[in-house]
Amino acid sequence: MADTVRSLAATITGNDAPGLLTRLMAAIAEIDAEILDLEQTVVRGQLSIGMLLGVPPAGHDLLQDRLAGACARLGLTLALAEGIGDNPPRLNRSVVTILGRPLLSSHVAVTTRVIAEHDGNIDRSRRLSRTPLTSLEFWVSGADPAVLRPALARAAATSGFDVSISPAGLARQGRRLIVMDVDSTLIRDEVIELLAAHAGCELAVREVTERAMRGELDFAESLRERVQLLAGLPVSVFDDVRAAVRFTPGARTLVATLRDLGLTIGLVSGGFIEVVAPLAAELGITRVHANALEVADGRLTGRVAGEIVDRAAKATKLREWAGEEQLPMSRTIAIGDGANDLDMLAAAGLGIAFNAKPTVRASADTALNLPYLDAVLFLLGLSREEVEDAAAARDKLDLSAR
C-alpha cells in the first residue's frame, strides 16, 4: 500500500474472553480493510489489541461504525486515531533486556528514561520470565545501541538490576557459538581450591587466586605458583574433586537448552582438563580447552604440562572455534567471571560478566549479578515458557528412548 492512503489505528482494551478477535474481525470483514499491523497482548485477563488498518476513503466511516458497534456489543473500549500509511520506519533497532529479583517499577522507570534520553522509542515489550527472576524485553528503535549500552549499564549498576542490549537482527537468531569459563561460572567452585583442600594448602592457594582474579597478578605466574603447592598429590584426587564440584544453578538447563537450539558450546578454563573434561562430557559439550597438570609416578609434579591457558589463550580459542564453525565474531557469546576472561568477553559479539569481579563487571557488555546461569537464555530472547517446553520435550524423548 502506498503511504498516502489513510489509515486508522484502533486500540481495543477490556476483559479477555474466547473469540473476541474473531468477532471483531468478522464485524469488519466485508469492508476488506488492509491489515497493516496487528498486535495483541493479554496481561492477567486484560486484553489489549493494537490494529492499524488501511482503508479506502469510501469505506472509512463504515469501518469506524462497525468497529464501534462490535466493541460496544463485546464490552470493549475502543480508541481510534486517524492518520496516513504504515508505522514510521524503525531504524537503529536494538533489544534491551532487564532482569531483577524483584524487578521494580523504579528499575523500569530508569530504563525507559535512559532509552528516551538517547532518542529511543519502545516499540514493543514483553515479559520473558518470572522465575527464577523477572525479565522484560524491550524492542527499541531510534537509539544507537553502542551509545545506549554504556548509559544503560551505568544506570542499572547504580539502581541494582541487570541489563543487556543487543542489536536486533539476524545475529540474535540462528547458529551461534557460546564459550564459557568454568570455575565460578559453569560451576560454583574454584577447582584449584578443591585440589588445595586435599593438599592442605587451601588458604595459600586461595590468597593467590584472589590476587590473580582481581588482576593484581599475572595469571600464568600465579597459576605456576599455585600448582607448585599441589606437588605430591595422588592422581586419585581428580575423582574426589570431580565428585565434589557443584554446578551453578541453571547450568544444566542453560547447556541443554542451547544444545536444543543447535548452538555450539565450548568451555575454556584456566583450571584443569582432568576435571573440566569429565564435566563437559557429562553435559554433552565437545569443545574443551584447559590446562593440564603434569603427573609422574601417579602423583602431581607441581608443574603445568604444556602451554598455559591464560587470558589471551581464552580469547584465541574463542576466535579459533568461531573460525572452525565459520561464524563471524558477532555470532559469538562469551561468559566469564574473572580477569582472565576479559579478552574473550571483549572479543565476543556478546560478552557476559557472570557474577563477576568488579573490574570485569565494569568492562563487559552485559553483567548478570544474580546467580542463575540460565538467565543467559533470557538475554538470547527465550522465555521461561519456551525453556520449560524444551525441558519437557527432552524428558519425553528420554522416556521414549528407554
Hey, which residues are catalytic here? 181, 183
User: Least distance to Mg ion from the beta carbon of 292, Å?
Assistant: 18
Measured in residues, the chain has a length of: 402
Between CA 335 and CA 338 the distance in angstroms is 10
Which of residues 193 and 294 has its CB atom nearest to Mg ion in the complex? 193
Stretch near Mg ion under the rule CB under 5 A, chosen from 177-185, 197-205, 254-262, 382-390: 177-185
Count of residues touching Mg ion (by CB under 5 A): 5
Give 237: exposed, middle or buried? Use CB within 10 Å, 0-12, 13-18, 19+: buried
Instruction: Check binding of 181 to Mg ion (CB under 5 A).
Output: yes
* Residue 121: all three cell numbers together: 522509542
The mark string for 127-166 relative to Mg ion (x by CB under 5 A, - otherwise) is: ----------------------------------------
Which residues are paired to 177 by β-bridges? 264, 332
Residue number with CB closer to Mg ion (310 or 337): 337
294-333 footprint of Mg ion as x/- string (CB under 5 A): ----------------------------------------
Q: Which of residues 245-274 bind Mg ion (CB under 5 A)?
A: none
**CA distances for 366 relative to 88, 97, 240, 362, angstroms:** 30, 10, 35, 9
Least CB distance to Mg ion at residue 322 (A): 21
DSSP code at position 309: -
What are the residue ranges of helices labelled H in 200-290? Answer: 202-213, 219-228, 237-244, 251-260, 273-283
Among 338, 344, 348, 376, the residue binding Mg ion under the rule CB under 5 A is 338
Q: Does 184 bind Mg ion (CB under 5 A)?
A: yes
Q: Are 229 and 201 in contact (CB under 8 A)?
A: yes
Considering beta carbons, is residue 137 or 181 the nearer one to Mg ion? 181
Asked if 313 contacts 327 with a C-beta cutoff of 8 angstroms, the reply is no
The answer to whether 343 contacts Mg ion (rule: CB under 5 A) is no
- List the one residue from 189, 337, 365, 374 that touches Mg ion (CB under 5 A): 337
Nearer to Mg ion, 51 or 283 (CB): 283
Going by C-alpha positions, the residue among 250, 271, 245 that lies closest to residue 341 is 271
Catalog residues that contact Mg ion under the rule CB under 5 A.
Answer: 181, 183-184, 337-338
